[in-house]
Amino acid sequence: MSKPILLITGGGRGIGAATAKRAAEQGYHVVINYKTDATSANKVVADIVASGDLADCVQADISDVEQVAQMFSFIRKKWGKIQALVNNAGVLEHQMRFTDTTPARWQRIFQTNVFGTMQCCQEAFQDMAISRGGQGGAIVNVSSLASVYGSPNEYVDYAASKGAVDSFSKGFALEVAGDGIRVNVVRPGLIYTDMHADGGEAERVDRIGPTLPLQRGGKPEEVAEAILWLLSDKSSYSTGGFIDVGGGR
Ligand code: NAP
């Protein structure tokens, strides 16, 4: 029997790469999407294949409507319909007060974090919906605890985009539940990845981690565990739900 196909957006590093490795071990055919860093994505694929599991990668900028459509069409032709999707790709920009940010910056952040996620969900629906000849499926959208606390003085626009992901995921989950598709959200807190360097403070997790109830930052693998559980049949009665992986933040 062929393995279920799992597409992970932004799977070349960080939380996406940790999820890809764990998912491959658990029997998925993992398709890793990346935007710019082909070397890292290919390395994740090579590591998985070297372990005897199945993975491929596909380049597409999920903030680009045409590229998302082409990516899904390519995957369908090459490997078939996807049964699982992790909308993990996300971006932030340099830390600053919201009053100093620009509409162009808000557009860039929302185009990837919100509209990219929404379009991938729409495409996945075509593959998964029982009413479209699919077999159902599971989607996990990676949001952030920033959606809850608002990220003042650092990333208010990013936090707002994750708030939109939360609301979208709830509504979409309730719409497609009757089509055999479960949609859930994982909201990481402070996790050791390169995203913080992109925001201008590579040591951010070390700075804030000790102030959290669990007194440390999290590992990408700890987020991957929650994602994998929500993708699996072990969470068969969960949809429209949220798991916070933030050390008590
Ligand atoms: P990361 O290390 O910065 O990795 C992000 C990945 O997303 C990169 O591999 C990047 O691909 C990809 N990506 C960015 N824009 C893309 C686009 N337009 N199309 C396709 N791929 C794109 O991030 P991370 O920390 O693992 O975060 C993963 C998710 O968790 C994000 O949604 C983030 O908002 C969320 N999150 C992270 C934290 C944290 O503390 N790290 C906390 C809360 C939430 P390329 O390298 O190829 O460009």
Q: What value does the mean pLDDT take over residues 217-245?
A: 98
State the pLDDT confidence band at 87, using cuts at 50, 70 and 90.
very high
What Rg, from alpha-carbon coordinates, does the chain have?
A: 17
Give me the pLDDT at residue 70, please. Answer: 98
Round to whole Å and give the CA distance between 82 and 45. 18
pLDDT class of 1 with cuts at 50, 70, 90: confident
The Cα 82–Cα 75 span in angstroms is: 8
Query: Which residues form the catalytic set?
Result: 158
Could you tell me the domains of the chain? 5-245 (3.40.50.720)
Residues with CB under 6 A from ligand 1: 9-10, 12-16, 33-37, 61-63, 88-91, 112, 116, 142, 144, 188, 190-191, 193-195, 198
The model carries a pTM of 0.99
Mutate to test the pocket of ligand 1, among 85, 91, 145, 162 (most ligand atoms within 8 A of CB): 91
User: Cα–chain-centroid distance for residue 195?
Assistant: 13
What does the alpha-carbon distance between residue 113 and residue 202 come to, in Å, rounded to a whole number? Answer: 21
How confident is the model at residue 128, as a pLDDT?
98
pLDDT digits (tens, 9 = 90+) for 21-52: 999 999 999 999 999 999 999 999 999 999 99
Triad 163, 168, 170: Cα angle to 5°: 100
pLDDT value, residue 194: 97
pLDDT classification of 179: cutoffs 50, 70, 90: very high
Residue 89 Cα to ligand 1 midpoint, Å, equals 4
pLDDT (average), residues 61-88 = 98
Exposed e or buried b per residue across 76-96, where buried means at least 16 C-beta atoms within 10 angstroms of its C-beta = eeebebbbbbbbbbbbbbeeb
